[in-house]
Structure 1
Amino acid sequence: MASTSETGHAKNVANFQDLIAFVTGYGATYNPSKNALKLPQLTALLTASQASLADVVTKNTAYNNKVNERVVAFKDLKSLSTRLINALQTTDASKEKVADAKTLNKKMQGIRAKAVETPTDPSTPAPNTISTSQQSYAQQIQHLAGIISVLQSEPSYTPNETDLQIATLTAKQADLTAKNSAVATAYTNVSNSRIARDTTIYGTDTGLFDIATEVKKYVKSVFGATSPQFAQIKGIVFTKKKK
């Protein structure tokens, strides 16, 4: 479900479309001298605003998909880490080396991924900021890298199980790194898309909000404050984005 603020942007654009429909109905009487208030420019602004809304939805869905992919990829990492320690203990590794690996595993087990980052509906809005807790994914990757390094240093660590072998673990580390980076990239994309949307809808003087306000003033000046024409549009509400 989209947040109230996300819904508010869409409502502004929908109301702008209604405003255009009314002023179009005024025919040649609606003839502002300011270029930005003319019908072709209003229509172009509406199209740009609708496109900006759609782009945020697309980028937001892509972000959520990358988050979900990361959740799945990291799901078994802690249990895998414990299995690796158990496997190391069945080798000729020294107590000190096993202790080093156990310390890394304890760090791995002590990190909890952000609770909200579970598979979600694609319409769920991406967060406005990257939280500190999300960095725990990078930490988990580092802990895995540490464990792999310890395992690589032990000549007797030669498991028959494919998923415990160094080559498999190295590939997994690379995959986790890629998926974590993909989330960061997708977040940047949706954040930039929101900025572009806000510029289109709320930009000073040129944004939909300010233009809609001027259109109302123009109609009021042409037809009068008590005219039925102004009565048609004065109740069309446009909400300014909160900072």
Structure 2
Amino acid sequence: MASTSEVGHAKNVANFQDLIAFVNGYGPTYNPTKNSLLLPQLETLYTNSETSLNNVLTKNTDFNNIINQRLDAFANLRSLSTRLISALETTNATDEIIKDAKSFNRKLQGKRASKIEQPTDPNQPAPKTISSSQQSYDQLIQHFEGLISVLQSEPSYAPNETDLQVATLQTQLQDLKDKNKQVSNAYAQVSKARLERNKVLYEAETSLVNTAAEVKKYVKSVYGATSPEFGQITIIKFTKKKD
């Protein structure tokens, strides 16, 4: 489900389309001197606004899909770590080596990916920040890499099970790093898309909200405050940016 703020952005764009429809109906009597208020410019602004909204939605969906891919990649890390300790204990490793490995395992068990975040609906808005989540995943990667390093240092650690072998673990580690980086990159794209949308809808001098207010003022100046024409558009509401 989209957030209230996301719905508000879409409502502003939809209302702007309604405003254009009324302006178009005024015919040649709607004839402002300011270029940004001319009908072709209003149509262009509407198109740009709609494009900016769709771009946020697309980037947001990409972000949530990558979040879910990362969850899948980290899902078995806890159970795998336990298996690795058991495998190491069946080798000729010293007590110190096993102790070091168990230390990393305890850290992995205490920082579960499932507690960091849950699978998310691709349409759910991305959060305002992902710094704490990223730090948690960074720590998981660090602990897993430490455990692999201990296993690699033990000459007698050579399991027959492919998924427990150091080469396989290193490949998995790289995949975890890649997934984590992809989340950061995808979030940066969401953030950039939001900034662009906010400029088009709210922040630029010729933004959608500012232009809508000027159109209303112009219509009021032409037809009067009590005119039916102004009455048509004065009830079309535009809300200010909330995020």
Instruction: Tell me if both proteins adopt one fold, taking TM over 0.5 as the criterion.
Output: yes
Cα offsets for 1:154-212 (capped at 9, x unmatched): 00000000000011000000000000100010000001000000000002421100000
Farther off after superposition, 114-123 or 155-164: 114-123
Are the aligned partners of 1:60 and 1:122 in contact in 2 as well (CA < 8 Å)? yes
Farther off after superposition, 120-129 or 21-30: 120-129
Are the aligned partners of 2:75 and 2:113 in contact in 1 as well (CA < 8 Å)? no
Task: State how 1:1-243 maps to structure 2 within 5 Å.
Answer: 1-113=1-113, 115=115, 117-242=117-242
Unpaired segments of 5 or more residues in structure 1? Answer: none
Are the aligned partners of 2:84 and 2:164 in contact in 1 as well (CA < 8 Å)? yes
How far 1:115 sits from its partner (Å)? 4.2
How far 1:57 sits from its partner (Å)? 0.4
State the one-letter code of the partner of 2:223.
F
Are the aligned partners of 1:24 and 1:39 in contact in 2 as well (CA < 8 Å)? yes
Unpaired segments of 5 or more residues in structure 2? Answer: none
State the one-letter code of the partner of 1:111.
K
Find the aligned partners of 2:155 and 2:112 in 1 and give their Cα distance: 32
Cα offsets for 1:26-45 (capped at 9, x unmatched): 00000000000000100000
How far 1:138 sits from its partner (Å)? 1.1
State the one-letter code of the partner of 1:81.
S
Cα offsets for 1:16-62 (capped at 9, x unmatched): 00000000000000000000000010000000000000000000000
How far 1:242 sits from its partner (Å)? 2.9
How far 1:120 sits from its partner (Å)? 2.1
Q: 1:94 to 1:170 in 2, by over 3 A?
A: same
- TM-score calculated relative to the size of structure 2: 0.98
Find the aligned partners of 1:214 and 1:116 in 2 and give their Cα distance: 47
Find the aligned partners of 1:217 and 1:60 in 2 and give their Cα distance: 36
How far 1:113 sits from its partner (Å)? 3.0
State the one-letter code of the partner of 1:176.
L
Find the aligned partners of 1:232 and 1:7 in 2 and give their Cα distance: 23
Find the aligned partners of 2:194 and 2:114 in 1 and give their Cα distance: 23
Find the aligned partners of 2:19 and 2:216 in 1 and give their Cα distance: 9
What is the aligned-residue RMSD (CA, Å)? 1.1
Farther off after superposition, 105-114 or 207-216: 105-114
Farther off after superposition, 202-211 or 39-48: 202-211
State the one-letter code of the partner of 2:208.
L
Farther off after superposition, 145-154 or 198-207: 198-207
Q: Count matched residues.
A: 243
State the one-letter code of the partner of 2:68.
N
Cα offsets for 1:108-164 (capped at 9, x unmatched): 111133647322221100011114133111111111110111001100000000000
Q: 1:56 to 1:175 in 2, by over 3 A?
A: same
Find the aligned partners of 1:9 and 1:82 in 2 and give their Cα distance: 48
- TM-score calculated relative to the size of structure 1: 0.98
Find the aligned partners of 1:118 and 1:226 in 2 and give their Cα distance: 54
